[in-house]
Amino acid sequence: MDPLLIAALSGAVGLAIGVVGMHAFRVSERQRAAGIDVDEPTMPEGATEVLASLGLAYIVVDTVDGVVRANPAAYAFGLVRGHTVVHQEVLGLTARVRSDGVIIDQQLELTRGLQGETTMVVHLRVAPLGDEYILVLADDRTEVSRTEAVRNDFVANVSHELKTPVGAISLLAETIEDAADDPDAVARFSQRLHKEANRLAVLVQDIIELSRVQGKNVVHAGKPVDLNYVIAEAVDRSRLPAESKGIELRVGGKLPRRVHGDSDQLTMAFRNLIDNAVRYSPDNTRVGIGLTSRDGIAQVTITDQGIGIAPENQERIFERFYRVDAARSRQTGGTGLGLSIVKHVITNHGGEVALWSQPGRGSTFTVRLPELEEGLDSLTGLGEDPVDLTAHLNTDDLTEDTQSARRSAGEGGNA
The reported pLDDT for the residue numbered 138 is 92
In a domain, 39, yes or no: no
| 60 and 120 inside one domain | yes
| 192 and 222 inside one domain | no
Indicate the pLDDT class of residue 180, thresholds 50, 70 and 90.
confident
Half-sphere exposure of 174 (CA within 13 A, CB side): 5
Q: pTM for the complete prediction?
A: 0.50
Check which CATH number belongs to the domain holding 110 and give it.
3.30.450.20
Higher-confidence residue of 264 and 35: namely: 264
Single out the residue in 171, 192, 215 at which a domain terminates: 215
Read off the pLDDT of each residue in 58-75 and give the average, rounded to a whole number. 90
Is the pLDDT assigned to residue 230 strictly greater than 90?
A: yes
Q: Which helix (H) or strand (E) holds 293?
A: strand 286-294
Higher-confidence residue of 168 and 29: namely: 168
CA–CA separation, 402 and 415 (whole Å): 10
Single out the residue in 215, 247, 266 at which a domain terminates: 215
Average model confidence (pLDDT) for the chain? 75
The reported pLDDT for the residue numbered 302 is 93
In a domain, 13, yes or no: no
Q: How do 223-225 and 248-252 pair as beta strands?
A: unpaired
The answer to whether the Cα torsion of 386, 271, 151, 198 is positive or negative is: negative
| 257 and 125 inside one domain | no
β-bridge partners, 135: 60, 127
Contact predicate 144/64, CB 8 Å: no
Structural domain harbouring 196: 142-215
Q: How do 133-140 and 104-112 pair as beta strands?
A: unpaired
Indicate the pLDDT class of residue 42, thresholds 50, 70 and 90.
low
The reported pLDDT for the residue numbered 96 is 93
The reported pLDDT for the residue numbered 193 is 82
Indicate the pLDDT class of residue 299, thresholds 50, 70 and 90.
very high
Q: Which span out of 54-58, 187-191, 367-371 was modeled with the highest average pLDDT? A: 367-371
Single out the residue in 196, 215, 234 at which a domain terminates: 215
3-state SS assignment for residue 30: helix
| 272 and 133 inside one domain | no
| 193 and 240 inside one domain | no
In a domain, 15, yes or no: no
| 281 and 343 inside one domain | yes
Could you give the number of structural domains in the chain? 3
In a domain, 47, yes or no: no
Residue 289: partners with Cβ closer than 8 Å, 6 or more residues away: 231, 235, 249, 250, 251, 252, 274, 300, 301, 302, 303, 409
Is the pLDDT assigned to residue 402 strictly greater than 50?
A: no
| 126 and 205 inside one domain | no
The reported pLDDT for the residue numbered 387 is 38
Check which CATH number belongs to the domain holding 353 and give it.
3.30.565.10
In a domain, 24, yes or no: no
| 253 and 209 inside one domain | no
CA–CA separation, 266 and 344 (whole Å): 11
| 198 and 268 inside one domain | no
| 202 and 228 inside one domain | no
In a domain, 350, yes or no: yes
pLDDT in tens, 181-222: 888 888 888 888 877 787 777 667 766 666 666 555 555 567
| 289 and 267 inside one domain | yes
| 262 and 385 inside one domain | yes
